[in-house]
Amino acid sequence: SSSLLPLKMWSTTDFEFGKPLGKGRFGAVYLAREKNTHFILAFKVIFKSALEKSQLEHQLRREIEILSHLRHPNILRMYNYFHDQTRIFLMLEYAPKGELYKELQKKKRFDDTRTATYMEEISDALMYCHAQKVIHRDIKPENLLLGLRGELKLADFGWSVHAPSLRRTTLCGTTDYLAPEMIEGSPHNENVDVWCVGVLCYECLAGYAPFEAPTRIETFRRIREVNLEFPPWMSDGARDLISKVLNRIPSLRLPLQEIIKHPWVKSKSRRILPPVFNDLEE
Ligand SMILES: CC(=O)N[C@H]1CCN(c2c(Cl)cnc3[nH]c(-c4cn(C)nc4C)nc23)C1
DSSP string, 73-120: TTB--EEEEEE-SSEEEEEE---TT-BHHHHHHHHSS--HHHHHHHHH
pLDDT digits (tens, 9 = 90+) for 179-214: 999 888 887 888 999 999 999 999 999 999 999 999
Q: Is the CB of 41 under 6 A from ligand 1?
A: no
Q: For 268-281, give one letter per residue: b (16+ CB within 10 A) or e.
A: bbebeeeeeeeeee
Assess contact for 63 and 157: CB atoms under 8 A. Answer: yes
Q: pLDDT tier at 160 (50, 70, 90 boundaries)?
A: very low
Q: pLDDT tier at 161 (50, 70, 90 boundaries)?
A: very low
Q: Is the pLDDT of residue 168 over 50?
A: no
- The chain-wide mean pLDDT, for the chain, equals 88
pLDDT of residue 65: 85
pTM of the model: 0.90
Q: Is the CB of 98 under 6 A from ligand 1?
A: yes
22 CA → ligand 1 middle, Å: 6
pLDDT digits (tens, 9 = 90+) for 52-82: 888 788 878 878 888 888 999 999 999 999 9
21 CA → ligand 1 middle, Å: 5
Q: Is the pLDDT of residue 143 over 50?
A: yes
Task: For residues 20 and 31, give the distance between their C-alpha atoms in angstroms, rounded to a whole number.
Answer: 6
Active site residues: 138
Please state the atom number of ligand 1 nearest to the C-alpha of residue 29: 7
pLDDT of residue 268: 98
pLDDT of residue 136: 61
Q: pLDDT tier at 39 (50, 70, 90 boundaries)?
A: very high
Q: pLDDT tier at 163 (50, 70, 90 boundaries)?
A: very low
pLDDT digits (tens, 9 = 90+) for 230-267: 999 999 999 999 999 999 999 999 999 999 999 999 99
* ipTM computed for the complex: 0.95
Please state the atom number of ligand 1 nearest to the C-alpha of residue 96: 18
How many alpha carbons fall within 13 Å on the CB side of residue 22?
Answer: 25
Phi, psi of 212 (to 5 degrees): -55, 140
Task: For residues 231 and 199, give the distance between their C-alpha atoms in angstroms, rounded to a whole number.
Answer: 14
What's the Cα-to-Cα distance from 112 to each of 85, 106, 235, 270, 273, rounded to whole Å? Answer: 49, 17, 8, 10, 19
